[in-house]
Chains A and B, each alone.
Chain A
Amino acid sequence: MGPEAWSYWAEIGQGFIGAIRLLVTGDPETWAIIRQSLLISVSATLASMALGVPIGAWLANARFVGRGVVLALCNTGFGLPPVVVGLILSILLLRHGPLGYLNLRFTPAAMMIGQFILSLPIIINLTVVALQQLNPKLRLQIRVLGASRLQTLWLLGREIRLPLLVAYMAGFGAVVSEVGASQMLGGNLPGSTRVLTTAIVMETGMGHYDRAMAYGIVLLLLVALIVGLLTWAQQGDRQR
C-alpha cells in the first residue's frame, strides 16, 4: 500500500473515530439534527397512518368503477421519486404559487408534507394487501357479532396489527432515508430543516467526514432498529 493509500485510510479512520466521539459526547449539533429528523419523519408517517389506514380499509372492501386505477396509482406511489415530489411541492409553495400564502417553503412543515405524500401510498397499499389476506367472511362475522363500523375497523385493525406495523416501518424507512424532497423543501437550514440525509450530503461535500459518518451511523442504527422491532414483533406474534 502506497503512502497516498495510507493517508486515505488514515483520514477515513480518523473520520470514524470522530463520528463515534460526536455521538458519545452528545455533540449538540449532531443530536439536534437527529431529533429534527425523527420529529419530521415520525410525525409525517403517523399522519400517513391516520389517513392511509382508513383509506386502505375502504379500498380493500369497496367495489366501484375505477378502483383498479386507484390501486394502480397507489402501487405507482411505491416508486414515487422524492425529487419529483419535492419539485412539485416546491412549485406549489413558491411565493406566488397556489399554496404560497401558507409561507411553508423551507420549513419543517413543508418537509413533513413531502414525506407524508411519499409514505401515504405505501401505507394505503400495505393496508389493502393485509386486509385482502384476511378471510372475507371475517368482516361478516364481526358485523353479525354486533360491531359498529368503528368497532369493525378497530377489530380488523387488531387482526392486521403486524402488517400495519410493517406498513409504518416501511413508510418511516422510506422517508427518513430520502434526501431529494427534504433538500428541496427544507433547504437544509441549521437548527430548523437540517436532517440526517441532507446533513450527510452537505458534510460530505465539505469534506467533514467525521460528521457525515456520525449521521450515517445513526441512519444505519435507525434501520437496524426498524428491522429489530419487526423481527421482535413477528416472533412475539407467532407465539400468540
Chain B
Amino acid sequence: MSDLLVQASRISVHRDGRLTLQPTDFAVRAGETVGIYGPNGAGKSTLLQALAGLLPLSSGSVTIAGKILGQDLTPLAYHRRIAAVFQEPLLLRGTVSHNVGLGLALRGIRKSEREERVQPVLEQLKIGHLSNRPVSKLSGGEAQRASLARALVLDPEVLFLDEPFAALDQPTRRRLVRELGELLRARRIATVFVTHELTEVSTLCDRCVILDAGTILQEGTTRTVLERPQTQRVAEILDMQE
C-alpha cells in the first residue's frame, strides 16, 4: 500500500539470549496513531524500540517510506526523521528551551531559527512561560510536556511514544492525553503509542495491536479490537483494565 510510512517485516528481537519479540509484521500509515497495548512484559517497549531503530534486530527489517533501515538509510539518518518520548522525560542539563531545541541543534540548525521554532511549540504545550527555567526545577507534568515539545519541534515523520504518561498523576495524565490527542490530530503526525491504559488507546489511537509474550494477538481499528476480541486471551487482556 502506498500510504504505508513505516513498515516492519518479520522483525524479531533477542534480549539476554531470550526471544522477547517473535517475528512480527507492523505498519503505520501517514497521519494515523497506532496503539500497542498489552500486559507488563508483553514486549511493547521492545517492539517500539525495534521500530525506532534502537535495538538490534535478530531478523527482519524496518522501512520508512520504502527505504530500508541499515541498507538504504543509516540509523542516524533514520533517527533524524523520527522522534521518541519515553516514560521518563529524560531531559538533559540546562533550560527548557535548551532541551527543546537540542534535536534541532544536533541537526545543525542555527540558534535564531531554533528560537523561532521552539517558542510556538512550547506555547502549544502550555509551557511557554517556562522556557528559561532549568529542567531540574520542573514538575513531573511540566518535564513531560517539555519532552513532548522536544519531539514535536522536530516535525518528525513518525512519533514513537513509550508510555509517556505512566509516571504522572491521574489529573495531569488525563489533561495531557486530551491535549496530545488534539495536537496529533491537528498536525497529522504518524504515531506509535505504547500504553497499558485502555482509555488512552480509545482516546488517541485509530488502530491498535494487542501484544502478549512478544506476539501480536490481534490488530485492527481500535473500535473493532476493543469491541470484538478474537480470542479468549485478548478478552482477558482487555478485561485486566476493567
Of A141, A145, A146, A240, which one neighbours B93 at CB under 8 angstroms?
A: A240
Interface segment, one of A70-78, A147-155, A223-231: A147-155
Is the pair B79, A159 in contact by a Cβ cutoff of 8 Å? no
The answer for the CA separation of A228 and B238 in the assembled complex, in Å, is 59
Is the pair A145, B150 in contact by a Cβ cutoff of 8 Å? yes
Interface string of A125-143 (1 = CB under 8 A from B): 0000000000101101111
Is the pair A151, B54 in contact by a Cβ cutoff of 8 Å? no
Q: A96 on the interface (CB 8 Å rule)? A: no
The answer for the CA separation of A104 and B106 in the assembled complex, in Å, is 44
**Residues of chain A lying within 8 A (CB to CB) of residue B93:** 158-159, 240
The answer for the CA separation of A109 and B154 in the assembled complex, in Å, is 50
Q: A69 on the interface (CB 8 Å rule)? A: no
The answer for the CA separation of A158 and B91 in the assembled complex, in Å, is 12
- Distance in Å from the Cβ of A176 to the closest Cβ of chain B? 30
A140, A148, A151 — which one has the most chain B CB atoms within 10 A of its CB?
A140
Q: A144 on the interface (CB 8 Å rule)? A: yes
Q: What's the dominant secondary structure at chain A's contact region?
A: helix
The answer for the CA separation of A135 and B53 in the assembled complex, in Å, is 19
| A140-B49, A240-B136 given; A147·B106 CB < 8 A | yes
- Distance in Å from the Cβ of A152 to the closest Cβ of chain B? 9
Is the pair A137, B107 in contact by a Cβ cutoff of 8 Å? no
Interface segment, one of B62-70, B81-89, B177-185, B208-216: B81-89
State which residues 92-140 of B face A: CB under 8 Å: 92-93, 102-103, 106-107, 134, 136
**Residues of chain B lying within 8 A (CB to CB) of residue A137:** 86, 88, 90
Name the residue of chain A whose CB is nearest to the CB of B77: A146
Of B54, B92, B102, which one neighbours A143 at CB under 8 angstroms?
A: B54
A138, A142, A145, A155 — which one has the most chain B CB atoms within 10 A of its CB?
A145
The answer for the CA separation of A159 and B92 in the assembled complex, in Å, is 7
Q: B190 on the interface (CB 8 Å rule)? A: no
Q: B76 on the interface (CB 8 Å rule)? A: yes
Of A141, A147, A148, A151, which one neighbours B86 at CB under 8 angstroms?
A: A141
Q: B14 on the interface (CB 8 Å rule)? A: no
Name the residue of chain B whose CB is nearest to the CB of A145: B103
Name the residue of chain A whose CB is nearest to the CB of B81: A146
Q: B80 on the interface (CB 8 Å rule)? A: yes
The answer for the CA separation of A141 and B164 in the assembled complex, in Å, is 13
Q: B52 on the interface (CB 8 Å rule)? A: yes
Is the pair A158, B92 in contact by a Cβ cutoff of 8 Å? yes
**Residues of chain A lying within 8 A (CB to CB) of residue B79:** 143-147
Is the pair B82, A144 in contact by a Cβ cutoff of 8 Å? yes
The answer for the CA separation of A158 and B76 in the assembled complex, in Å, is 21
**Residues of chain B lying within 8 A (CB to CB) of residue A240:** 93, 134, 136
State which residues 6-30 of A face B: CB under 8 Å: none
The answer for the CA separation of A147 and B80 in the assembled complex, in Å, is 8
Is the pair B80, A146 in contact by a Cβ cutoff of 8 Å? yes
State which residues 136-182 of A face B: CB under 8 Å: 137-138, 140-148, 151, 155, 158-159
Name the residue of chain B whose CB is nearest to the CB of A143: B79
| A145-B79, A145-B103, A146-B107 given; A140·B86 CB < 8 A | yes
- Distance in Å from the Cβ of B140 to the closest Cβ of chain A? 15
The answer for the CA separation of A26 and B8 in the assembled complex, in Å, is 73
Is the pair B106, A144 in contact by a Cβ cutoff of 8 Å? no
The answer for the CA separation of A61 and B49 in the assembled complex, in Å, is 17
Of B75, B90, B106, which one neighbours A151 at CB under 8 angstroms?
A: B106
Is the pair B54, A140 in contact by a Cβ cutoff of 8 Å? yes
- Distance in Å from the Cβ of B45 to the closest Cβ of chain A? 10
The answer for the CA separation of A203 and B83 in the assembled complex, in Å, is 65
- Top-7 shortest CB links A-B: A146-B80, A141-B90, A144-B84, A145-B103, A146-B106, A146-B79, A140-B54
Binding site for A on B (CB under 8 A): 49, 52-54, 75-76, 79-80, 82-84, 86, 88, 90, 92-93, 102-103, 106-107, 134, 136, 150, 154, 160
| 8 interchain pairs, CB-CB under 8 A | A140-B54, A140-B86, A142-B92, A144-B52, A144-B53, A144-B83, A146-B76, A159-B92
